[in-house]
Amino acid sequence: MPDDHKWPQEHSWPESKGELTEFIPRVPGGQWDAGTDQFRPADPEEPEAPGGRSWRKPAIIAGAVFGALGLLYGVDLLMSSGEVPRGVTVAGVEVGGMSQSEAERTLREQIEPRLSKPVQVRAGSVEDQLDPAKSGLTLDWPATLHQAGDQPLNPIVRLTSLFSTREVGVVTGTNDTALDAAVEQLKAKVTRAPVEGGIKFDGATPAMVDPVPGQELDADKARAALIADWAGGKAVALPVTETPVKTTAEGVKAAFEEVAKPAVAAPVVVKGDGKDAKIEPAVIASALTFEVAEGGGLTPKLDTAKITEAVKPQLASTEKEGKDAQVVFEGGAPSVTPSVDGMGIKYDTAFANLLDVLKKPDPREIKVEYAKTPAKVTTEQANGLGIKEVIGEFTTQGFAADSGVNIRVTAQKVNGAIVKPGETFSLNGHTGPRTAAQGYVEAGVIKDGAPGREVGGGISQFATTLYNASYFAALKDAGHKEHSYYISRYPAAREATVFQDHAGNSVIDLKFTNDSATGIAIQTIWTPSSITVKIWGTKKYTVESVPGGRTAETPPFEKQGPATNCKPSNGAPGFTTSDTRIIRDAANGAEVRRNTRTVKYNPQPKIICPPPQPAG
């Protein structure tokens, strides 16, 4: 073969039994045919790979691989028939690859002991437990085992099961009523109102209150979570809805460090006119509060009324008490004693800057200002009230000596009282508490047929006398109440009682309003056997009282008296009656108005005392 013969770029050598028999050149797109000594183009139906290689061999290899995989899939499916799929867990128990009977035995061994134990639950920050039996939770074994035993046909699922696990869970049977009740009980324990951050004081020691968001159990989702996970042997997480708070821990700490701590670090000196007072840390703590502010912080607030209450007694000697003008009755005619202006501390503005002082370590002092305090009733006002003549009066008689003491004390307090036009007079409000400290004594009372003693007894007689004086002065009734039983020394349906509890709080009061254009003054005249009340002013009206008859009489009922110290009585009938007040113009006698008041009196019981016990 000539040396200059040029061969194609690629060659192939057919194999023989031990020796090279023939050299056959190959070129891209075809090959050399040695028999004909010619180049034969490639088969147009045979695709070529890049670089001139054929796809036939890779296709054959791929087909062989897929065939092998298919064979393996079939063998795996055949061999695992009747077994639980690989990687399957039920309530955390691995049963993959087990036979159905083995899986059932394993599940019962592992899960059944859990079913009688309390189920731990966690809802937000609350941990609790519930009894599954009482909560209506049971395990449906047939459905659970069936759910765990289905073989997947998807080859990808079967392949991935070699490297992973798949939880299928249990199938739960429920008693809806019991489960709903258990969820509601959990909801009551879990639900918590939000708590805003703040600062509290223990005496004069401040402490931070951290903000805590509120939470509420999501009942529907909690029910679903219990059904799904109760048998899993782990705490079941129950979903909650959180209620946010406005404050932050940082905001609370800032208020604590910048305001609360320095505020009670030391007393504050209040400098008065020639005398100082102190606001002690405990007082500051009682008056200092904090409100929620924007941005998560706290805004300090100061109750200046509490500060004033602590300071006022200490600086009382630096103030000069004023005195109202009063009407006195001498020689049968009223006269005015002059008013005196006082000098007092301007407490309404005294502590306006105290909060700024409390934030500073030094100086911790405030200087108060003084101002004149005019009398409530000045001399000029009293002289211009038109108090010149009696416009209404009334007298009652007959009272015990001890009751008379209380009536005298009350009369002294009321004597000279001035009621300006449009003002309302309150007997309980004017006298204040009627206790021994104010000069009142115990007086006899009868309750359930037995004698008793009460401080301030007998005041109702003064109230009846004052009420009738205001009645005939044509003043407007602003509230009164009659006795439950009729008392014969008083006019029926034209009397009044008053009552305070043992703490001095008003329970039943007598009030009337001065609805005239001029002022009035009250004069009281006490004797050991009578009390008279006169009301002075400018007379514009005359008053007539028209009593009504008795109706609906009720006989007294018998009542057993106490075993000791019993006082028998015949009682008295109850009845209904009325009184009509007719007011006429004093100048021409024309009727201005009239009103009728109807009163029902209860019968007084007939007290029956037990017979005396024989001696011995």
**Each residue's pLDDT tens digit, 409-430:** 999 999 999 999 999 999 999 9
With cut-offs at 50, 70 and 90, classify the pLDDT of residue 286: very high
In this prediction, residue 100 carries a pLDDT of: 76
**219 pLDDT exceeds 70?**
yes
CA distance 309 to 481: 36
In this prediction, residue 185 carries a pLDDT of: 92
What is residue 451's three-state secondary structure? Answer: strand
DSSP-derived secondary structure for 469-528 = HHHHTTPEEEE-B--SS--TTS-TTS--B-EE-TT--EEE--EEE--SSS-EEEEEEEET
* Neighbouring C-beta atoms of residue 213, cutoff 10 Å: 15
| CB under 8 A, 24+ apart: contacts of 24-29 | 28/52
With cut-offs at 50, 70 and 90, classify the pLDDT of residue 240: very high
CA distance 141 to 160: 27
**7 pLDDT exceeds 50?**
no
In this prediction, residue 164 carries a pLDDT of: 65
Of 3.10.20, 2.60.40, 3.30.1380, 2.50.20, the CATH number of 250-381 is 3.10.20
CA distance 482 to 492: 9
What is residue 399's three-state secondary structure? Answer: coil
CA distance 600 to 311: 52
Task: Please tell me which residue, 68 or 256, carries the higher pLDDT value.
Answer: 256
* First-to-last C-alpha distance (Å) of the chain: 169
With cut-offs at 50, 70 and 90, classify the pLDDT of residue 208: very high
CA distance 458 to 313: 35
With cut-offs at 50, 70 and 90, classify the pLDDT of residue 307: very high
The maximal CA–CA distance of the chain, rounded, in angstroms, is 174
DSSP-derived secondary structure for 175-223 = -HHHHHHHHHHHHHHH-B--B--EEEEETTEEEEE--B-EEEE-HHHHH
CA distances from 64 to 57, 61, 343, 348, 384 (A): 11, 5, 116, 102, 127
* Neighbouring C-beta atoms of residue 265, cutoff 10 Å: 15
Mean local confidence (pLDDT), 231-245: 90
**121 pLDDT exceeds 70?**
yes
With cut-offs at 50, 70 and 90, classify the pLDDT of residue 210: very high
With cut-offs at 50, 70 and 90, classify the pLDDT of residue 15: very low
With cut-offs at 50, 70 and 90, classify the pLDDT of residue 19: very low
Radius of gyration of the chain (CA): 52
In this prediction, residue 105 carries a pLDDT of: 85
With cut-offs at 50, 70 and 90, classify the pLDDT of residue 34: low
CA distances from 161 to 71, 72, 75, 149, 230 (A): 18, 15, 16, 14, 26
Helix axes 100-111, 141-148, angle to 10 degrees: 130
CA distance 249 to 368: 37
Cβ–Cβ < 8 Å for 226, 238? yes
Mean local confidence (pLDDT), 99-118: 82
Mean local confidence (pLDDT), 303-330: 92
Task: Please tell me which residue, 483 or 66, carries the higher pLDDT value.
Answer: 483
Residue reference for tokens 């005249």: 525
Mean local confidence (pLDDT), 85-93: 80
Helix axes 219-229, 176-190, angle to 10 degrees: 120
**Each residue's pLDDT tens digit, 503-541:** 889 999 999 999 999 999 999 999 999 999 999 999 999
**Each residue's pLDDT tens digit, 458-474:** 899 999 999 999 999 99
166: tokens are 């798949």
In this prediction, residue 457 carries a pLDDT of: 86
**332 pLDDT exceeds 60?**
yes
In this prediction, residue 173 carries a pLDDT of: 86
* Strand 119-123, strand 236-237: pairing: parallel
Domain boundaries, the chain: 10-52, 250-381, 385-608
Mean local confidence (pLDDT), 45-65: 61
CA angle 592, 597, 600 (to 5 degrees): 170
In this prediction, residue 133 carries a pLDDT of: 87
**4 pLDDT exceeds 50?**
no
In this prediction, residue 303 carries a pLDDT of: 96
With cut-offs at 50, 70 and 90, classify the pLDDT of residue 71: low
With cut-offs at 50, 70 and 90, classify the pLDDT of residue 363: confident
Helix or strand run (H / E) with residue 40: strand 38-41
**32 pLDDT exceeds 60?**
no
Mean local confidence (pLDDT), 343-362: 93
Mean local confidence (pLDDT), 143-157: 65
Paired strand residues for 524: 533
Mean pLDDT (the chain, rounded): 85
Residue 425 CB partners (closer than 8 Å, separation 6+): 417, 419, 511, 512, 513, 514, 522
